[in-house]
Structure 1
Amino acid sequence: MPTIEKVSVPGPAGTLEVVAHIPDVAPRAIAVIAHPLPTMGGTMENKIVTTLTKTFAELGFAALRFNFRGVGASSGEFDNGIGEVEDALTVTRYALGEYGNLPLILSGFSFGGYVQARAAQQLSVHHLPVHQLVLIAPAVTRYPMPPVPHNTLLVHGELDEVVSLADVMQWARPQHLPIVVLPGAVHFFHGRLEQLKEIVRHNFMGQAL
């Protein structure tokens, strides 16, 4: 069973509340998971975030979820996606410093998907490549979503009522980016979390990290 550690990490707007799920063997990768929109009640306790975290930990990754500034015990206030990218980068750098220079997976749900796509873009500029992005129902229309690497795992619900599948298709099409579509699933993947877990798990099972 993974060990769960609660940590306060110094961030750009004060401390950030982080929960690390550490496997009982030496981690073979690091996964950082970002939560949905804070102004709509998004926190690191979101069911999709906790499902992703547990899945990554079971795969043998050091998995870290965290609260953006102004959420839970994290200092500061909502910064419309700008400061939140800095928060994600801070937690990522903390994880790399704590667990070593391991393959890095950035994952996010909805608003968190946008944040992690931006974070990955900034890390590549600083020659810290991300092994893979895992984006669940990313907020492609509400924020200026950047292009993402061709190996990004993108999962979306057919009946997503917050970020329409048509909008995600329009964003993905010029990038020739494949989308895993769950028929009948809505934005929060009600009743489909086990299926989501299996998709993520299967993605990494055959990978040499």
Structure 2
Amino acid sequence: MNAQTEKFLIDGPVGKIEVALDRTDAADKAPRGIAFVAHPHPLFGGTMDNKVAQTLARTFVQLGYTTYRSNFRGVGQTAGEHDNGIGEQDDLLALIDHMRAQPGQEDVPLVLAGFSFGTFVLSHVAKRLVESGKSIERMVFAGTAASRWEVAPVPESTLVIHGEVDETVPISSVYDWARPQELPVVVIPGGEHFFHRKLHVLKRIIVDAWR
């Protein structure tokens, strides 16, 4: 992603998890929190270096967050086999525990951001965090995979962004998921699933939401 990206391995429930860490450039002030970005479906080429995942990470670094990404099971140097988003939840909870254990990150705000399959996994991770009494500052979902998996309900502050002409996840399915929650959906006109030529718009929406 950039010259400052640190990559390392941590211990997970079924072996090593490959992690990428990006720190903010502001040496004169403490990060405003920590953020985690979840990537798209690993069986369809999704990795933590996916361009949408990288855009989300870059955006949160710019907003002042220490930002983590990780590869799901069976991707890169992460151990294990694809587990349909079930074991992947356990892996992400282990990574969040690792993030929290770092000096200065024990009690800072936590942001969770996902793209496509990553939104499905993170929705259930967030549910488990809240049920265990742990707080989340905010969530950002891009290309919410509501037509393909059972995405759990999310906090009302969640920022949901979708492409108008998403060919992988029809926007109507996102409306059907969001409607019972009275959850607004921000639509990018002309945007498709991978936000081709619309990544700058995706970034702008998030930055504006944080102002």
Please name the residue that 2:14 is paired with.
13
Of all paired residues, the percent bearing the same amino acid is: 44
SS of aligned partner of 2:89: helix
- State how far apart, in whole Å, the 2-side matches of 1:60 and 1:106 are: 14
| Partner of residue 150 from structure 2, selected from 138, 144, 149 | 144
TM-score, normalization: structure 2? 0.94
- State how far apart, in whole Å, the 2-side matches of 1:159 and 1:80 are: 26
Partner deviation per Cα, 1:25-66 (whole Å, 9 max, x = no partner): 321111000000001110001000001101101111010011
User: Could you tell me whether the CA contact under 8 Å between 1:3 and 1:23 is conserved in 2?
Assistant: no
Give 1:186 deviation, angstroms.
0.4
List 4+ stretches of structure 1 deviating above 4 A: none
Please name the residue that 2:113 is paired with.
107
User: Could you tell me whether the CA contact under 8 Å between 2:164 and 2:189 is conserved in 1?
Assistant: yes
Task: Please show how residues 1-209 of structure 1 align to structure 2 within 5 Å.
Answer: 3-24=4-25, 25=27, 26-98=30-102, 99-204=105-210, 206=211
Note closer, same or farther for the CA distance 1:3–1:62 as it changes in structure 2 (3 Å cut).
same
- State how far apart, in whole Å, the 2-side matches of 1:102 and 1:48 are: 25
SS of aligned partner of 1:203: helix
Give 1:2 deviation, angstroms.
8.5
User: Could you tell me whether the CA contact under 8 Å between 1:153 and 1:179 is conserved in 2?
Assistant: yes
SS of aligned partner of 1:190: coil
Give 1:92 deviation, angstroms.
1.3
Q: What is the root-mean-square deviation in Å for CA atoms of aligned residues? A: 1.3
User: Could you tell me whether the CA contact under 8 Å between 2:147 and 2:170 is conserved in 1?
Assistant: no
Does 36-45 or 23-32 show the bigger shift?
23-32
Q: Which runs of 5+ in 2 are unaligned?
A: none
